[in-house]
Amino acid sequence: MSELAARVAALEALFRHVERTRMAGVPVLNKALQVDAIGFQPAGADPARPDGPPAAVGVLLTPWFMNLVWLPLQPVPAADRVGQARAREVGNTTFEFIGAHEPGLGAYEACSLASPMFEFEHHAQARATAWAVLAALRESQAPASPARRGFLFGRSAVEGRP
């Protein structure tokens, strides 16, 4: 199993555990959905920390949220950025990621795409939406139009972006 596959499997296992334990019985769960890590691929170097650990970006889909996730390819034990925001560029769009840390996984960062998840009638629909978001972010290097970004991500273009 590759380093990336192992980290993605660990992320999914963690959130399946969270679903069975911390989220058990919480009314925001959409029972039609399941935990699913979608489309994780290596990310470019972090301009703020070019010597930092390599990472991957993809979508984590759960019955209670859909997040864009920045996942270091090696466990990072430091939890000093939990709750802190960091701007990261994914494709041609800058997103605000929030630092998080879980024992057994280490540090990662997440950017909310949807929550709660009741607008999705079934898992295939939520999964297709996640793939559509990733496809839009990974399309050619030509900047996406502000209208398309606003439609896909529910907001206008980020300051300083076309």
How is residue 51 written in tokens?
């010597």
C-beta of residue 32 within 8 angstroms of C-beta of residue 121: yes
Split into its structural domains, the chain has a count of: 1
Of residues 16 and 152, more confidently modeled = 16
What range defines the domain where residue 96 resides?
A: 3-153
Decide if 160 is inside a domain: no
Range of lowest pLDDT (106-115, 136-145, 149-158)? 149-158
> pLDDT tens, 81-113?
899 999 998 988 899 999 999 998 999 999 999
The rounded Cα 84 to chain-centroid distance in angstroms is 16
Decide if 56 is inside a domain: yes
Decide if 14 is inside a domain: yes
Q: What is the mean pLDDT of residues 25-48?
A: 89
CATH number at residue 8: 3.30.1460.40
The strand order across the sheet containing 85-90 reads 36-42, 55-61, 66-72, 106-114, 93-102, 85-90
Tell me phi and psi for residue 11, to 5 degrees.
Answer: -65, -50
Question: How confident is the model at residue 153, as a pLDDT?
Answer: 52
Decide if 161 is inside a domain: no
How is residue 140 written in tokens?
């050619």
Question: How confident is the model at residue 44, as a pLDDT?
Answer: 72
pLDDT band for 57, please (50, 70, 90 cuts).
very high
Of residues 66 and 46, more confidently modeled = 66
Q: Give yes or no for residue 154 having a pLDDT over 70.
A: no
C-alpha distances out from residue 85 to 2, 96, 144, Å: 29, 6, 24
Question: How confident is the model at residue 72, as a pLDDT?
Answer: 94
Q: Give yes or no for residue 146 having a pLDDT over 80.
A: no
Q: Give yes or no for residue 4 having a pLDDT over 80.
A: yes
Q: Find, among 50, 107, 60, 117, the residue nearest to 82 by Cα.
A: 107
